[in-house]
Structure 1
Amino acid sequence: MPKAYVFTRYGGPEVEAFVDVDRPSPGPGQVLVAVRAAGVNPVDWKQRTGYRRPGETGEREFPAYFGNEVSGVVEEVGDDVEGFVVGDAVFGRPVVGGYSEYALLSVDLIAHKPAALSFTDAATLPVAGVTAYDGIRQLDLPAGATVLVTGAGGGVGVAAVQLARAAGLRVLGLSSAAKKDFVESLGAVHVPSGPGWTERVPGDVDGVYDLVGGDILEEAATLLADRTKLVTAGAQSEVVEKLGGSRVARVRTSERLEAVAELVVDGALDPHVTRTFPLERADEALRTVEDGHARGKTVIEVAG
Structure 2
Amino acid sequence: MSEAFGFRTFGGPEVQEFFDRPDPVPSPAEVLVRVTAAGVNPLDFKLRSGALPGFYGERPFPQVMGAEAAGVVLAVGSEVEGLAVGDAVFGMAYTGAGAYARTTLLLGSHTARKPEGLRDDWAATIPVAATSALDAVDQLDLPEGTTVLINGVGGGVGIATAQVARDRGLNVIGTGGPTKRALAEAVGVTFVDYTEGPVVPRLRDLAPDGVDGLVDLVGGASLRTVAPLVREPKYIVSVTDGTVTELGGEMVRRRAARADLERAAALMVEGRLDPHVVRTYPLARSAEALALLEDGHAVGKIVIDMTE
Distance 1:57 1:23 in 2: 19
Q: Does 1:227 align with 2:233?
A: yes
Distance 1:274 1:15 in 2: 27
In 1, are the aligned partners of 2:80 and 2:109 still within 8 Å (CA)?
no
1:209 corresponds to:
215
Distance 2:84 2:240 in 1: 37
Matches within 5 A, 1:90-109: 90-94=89-93, 95=95, 96-109=97-110
Q: Does 1:142 align with 2:146?
A: no
Deviations 1:158-212 (A, max 9, x none): 0000000001011001111222121100101001113511111111311110001
Matches within 5 A, 1:152-167: 152-167=153-168
1:57 shift after superposition? 6.9
TM-score using structure 2 length: 0.95
Deviations 1:216-275 (A, max 9, x none): 110111111210011000212xx1000110000011310111011100001110000001
The alignment partner of 1:84 has SS state of: coil
How many aligned positions are there? Answer: 301
2:58 corresponds to:
59
Distance 1:87 1:245 in 2: 43
1:19 corresponds to:
19
Distance 1:279 1:57 in 2: 23
Letter in 1 for 2:199: W
1:59 shift after superposition? 3.1
1:303 shift after superposition? 1.7
Q: Which runs of 5+ in 2 are unaligned?
A: none
Letter in 2 for 1:49: S
In 2, are the aligned partners of 1:192 and 1:200 still within 8 Å (CA)?
no
The alignment partner of 1:222 has SS state of: helix
CA RMSD of aligned residues (A): 1.3
TM-aligned CA distance change 1:57 to 1:117, over 3 Å: closer
1:8 corresponds to:
8
Distance 2:234 2:272 in 1: 27
Distance 1:69 1:178 in 2: 25
The alignment partner of 2:72 has SS state of: strand
Q: Percent identity?
A: 47
1:29 shift after superposition? 1.9
Deviations 1:83-137 (A, max 9, x none): 2111100000112131000011111110000011011000000000000110011
Distance 1:243 1:262 in 2: 35
1:38 shift after superposition? 0.3
Distance 1:149 1:293 in 2: 18
2:88 corresponds to:
89
1:278 shift after superposition? 0.3
Letter in 1 for 2:91: G
TM-aligned CA distance change 1:56 to 1:284, over 3 Å: closer
Q: Does 1:42 align with 2:48?
A: no
Letter in 2 for 1:249: R
Distance 1:57 1:163 in 2: 28
Letter in 2 for 1:200: R
1:18 shift after superposition? 0.3
1:299 corresponds to:
303
2:72 corresponds to:
73
From 209, 234, 253, the counterpart of 2:257: 253
Letter in 2 for 1:222: P
From 250, 263, 269, the counterpart of 1:265: 269
